[in-house]
């Protein structure tokens, strides 16, 4: 008997697979590669919501767990995934500087907001009011993670690259059966693909489409992440990732002319040099209106579970959420009420 089937191998599925391996559990992963939000993600991690100057929910725990998680994966996969570089928020006025200093006095934000105005001048970026530096930030190369982790799963014969047939799941009191496999538990980590899942389709997953660019800008020399209405993330060799848009209506993975023009306009507000668009990417983030993940167990089937709704902060959230769900299933440790799908029981 296999301990787990995991459906989906984005950030959530990878994090849960790693939690299982750390505890000696066996598993099979199913993925039809229909969801690409992990692969095209910006990959940034940032403990501060800069629009509202508030700390990301449970940021300290998430950062600590994520740092250990990606370090372990770097050793396992023998490549660098975690790039720890600062995020600079560009100031547009003295008032914005003052708001930054006021925010940095909040006890929850003091560890993450530098009180020193950065006056570094970057080619092709006008910054008369300087920048504010966010600490404990960086990005994860999610595309490299996805590609290499899938190879790792394939090498160990743990990956089934096919559609998952929900109708073929046979549920018994103490186990499940699927394609002649007896399994103790199933965890659905499908991202926006959850809408096709009859076990959890009642949950209010509200996908948010995001589009981004890879650009080449020879005259732009930036070695930090610059954040304004878009972010610019240096990739080396004059290449930069630029993003991202937010579209709550379009649920496709297809880049759009509207998204392209929006990114171009915002980018031109930030940089003054020419740039070439090398790639234009799009994906649907698995977001939830209350901005909290969806974790828990089906209200009837006690061996059917979900790990979803990581939204725009999957890089930070996935490692700690996977541990929480594992401990909930295996050790009966209660989930935080803010992430437990029981909060939506009335919608069934």
What percent of the chain has pLDDT above 90?
A: 89
51 pLDDT band, cuts 50/70/90, is confident
- Residue 175 maps to which CATH number? 3.50.50.60
DSSP letters for 58-122: THHHHHHHHHHHHHHHHHHHTS--EE---EEEEP-SHHHHHHHHHHHTSTTTTTTB-SSPB---B
298 and 249 in one domain? Answer: no
Same domain? 340 vs 227: no
User: How big is the CA angle at 84 (ends 130 and 133), to the nearest 5 degrees?
Assistant: 20
Cβ neighbours, 10 Å, residue 81: 20
Q: Is the dihedral of CA 188, 194, 199, 200 positive or negative?
A: positive
Query: Residue 345 above 90 pLDDT?
Result: no
* Tens-digit pLDDT profile for residues 78-130: 999 999 999 999 999 999 999 999 999 999 999 999 999 999 999 999 999 99
Residue 317 three-state SS:
helix
> What was the pLDDT predicted at 121?
94
* Same domain assignment for residues 154 and 281: no
| Residues 276 and 213 grouped into a single domain | yes
pLDDT above 80 for 35: no
What is the pLDDT of the chain when averaged over all its residues?
A: 94
Question: Domain boundary at 270, 285, 300, which?
Answer: 285
pLDDT tier at 36 (50, 70, 90 boundaries)? low
CATH of the domain at 231: 3.30.9.10
Query: What is the distance in angstroms between the CA of the first residue and the CA of the last residue of the chain?
Result: 31
Query: pLDDT tens for residues 205-219?
Result: 988 999 999 999 999
Q: Looking at the structure, tell me whether residues 216 and 115 fall in a common domain.
A: yes
Same domain as 189, residue 212: no
Residues 187 and 212 both lie in one domain: no
pLDDT value of residue 348:
58
The reply to whether 273 and 245 lie within a common domain is yes
280 and 299 both lie in a single domain? no
CA distances from 284 to 49, 60, 148, 207, 210 (A): 20, 27, 22, 6, 6
Task: Summarize the confidence of residues 19-43 as an average pLDDT.
Answer: 86
* pLDDT > 90? residue 37: no
Cβ(209)–Cβ(250) below 8 Å: yes
Per-residue pLDDT, averaged over 39-61, amounts to 88
**pLDDT at residue 261 is higher than 80:** yes
pLDDT tens readout for residues 226-247: 999 999 999 999 999 999 999 9
- Residue that terminates a domain, selected from 235, 257, 285: 285
Q: Please indicate, yes or no, if residue 60 is contained in any of the structural domains.
A: no
Domain holding 167, by residue range, is 2-41+143-203+289-347
pLDDT in tens, 159-202: 999 999 999 999 998 999 999 899 999 999 999 999 899 999 99
For residues 218 and 259, membership in a common domain is answered with yes
- Same-domain pairing of 105 and 174: no
Whether residue 92 lies inside any domain: the answer is yes
Return d(Cα 314, Cα 99) in angstroms, integer.
28
Reduced to 3 states (helix: H, G, I; strand: E, B; else coil), residue 236 is: strand
What's the CA gap between 3 and 174, in Å, rounded?
12
49, part of any domain:
no
Work out the average pLDDT over 319-324. 98
Last residue of a domain, one of 285, 311, 330: 285
Residue 322 belongs to some domain of the structure: yes
| Residue at 305 is within a domain | yes
Q: How confident is the model at residue 336 (pLDDT cuts 50, 70, 90)?
A: very high
- Cα 303 off chain centre by: 26
Q: How many domains does the chain have?
A: 2
Provide the pLDDT for residue 347. 62
180/185 Cα distance (integer angstroms): 15
**pLDDT at position 73:** 98
Residues 265 and 293 in one domain: no
């Amino acid at each position: 008997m296999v301990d787990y089937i995991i459906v989906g191998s984005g950030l959530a599925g990878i994090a849960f697979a790693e939690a299982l391996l750390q505890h000696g559990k066996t598993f099979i992963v199913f993925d039809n590669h229909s969801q690409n939000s992990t692969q095209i993600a910006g990959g940034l991690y940032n403990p501060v919501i800069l629009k509202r100057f508030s700390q990301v929910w449970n940021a300290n725990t998430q950062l600590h767990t994520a740092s250990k998680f990606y370090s372990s994966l770097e050793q396992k996969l023998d490549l660098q995934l975690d790039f720890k570089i600062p995020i600079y928020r560009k100031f547009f006025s003295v008032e914005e500087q003052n708001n930054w200093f006021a925010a940095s006095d909040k006890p929850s934000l003091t560890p993450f907001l530098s009180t020193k105005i950065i006056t570094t001048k970057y080619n092709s970026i006008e910054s008369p009011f300087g920048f504010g530096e966010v600490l404990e930030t960086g990005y994860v190369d999610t595309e490299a993670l996805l590609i290499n982790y899938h190879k790792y799963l394939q090498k160990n014969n743990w990956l089934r690259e096919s559609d998952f047939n929900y109708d073929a799941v046979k549920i018994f009191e103490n186990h499940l059966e699927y394609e002649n496999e007896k399994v103790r538990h199933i965890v659905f980590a499908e991202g926006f693909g959850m809408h096709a899942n009859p076990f959890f389709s009642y949950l209010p997953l509200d996908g948010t489409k995001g589009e981004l660019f890879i650009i080449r800008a020879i005259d732009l020399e930036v070695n930090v992440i610059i954040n304004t209405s878009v972010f610019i993330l240096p990739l080396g060799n004059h290449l930069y990732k630029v993003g991202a848009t937010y579209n709550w209506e379009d649920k496709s993975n297809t880049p759009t002319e509207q998204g392209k023009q929006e990114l171009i306009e915002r980018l031109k507000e930030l940089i003054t040099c020419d740039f070439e668009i090398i790639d234009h990417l799009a994906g649907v983030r698995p977001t939830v209106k209350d901005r909290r993940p969806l974790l828990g167990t089906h209200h009837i089937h006690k061996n059917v579970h979900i790990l979803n709704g990581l939204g725009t902060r999957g890089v930070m959230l996935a490692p700690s959420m996977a541990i929480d769900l594992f401990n909930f299933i295996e050790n009966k440790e209660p989930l935080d009420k803010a992430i437990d799908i029981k909060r939506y029981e009335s919608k069934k």
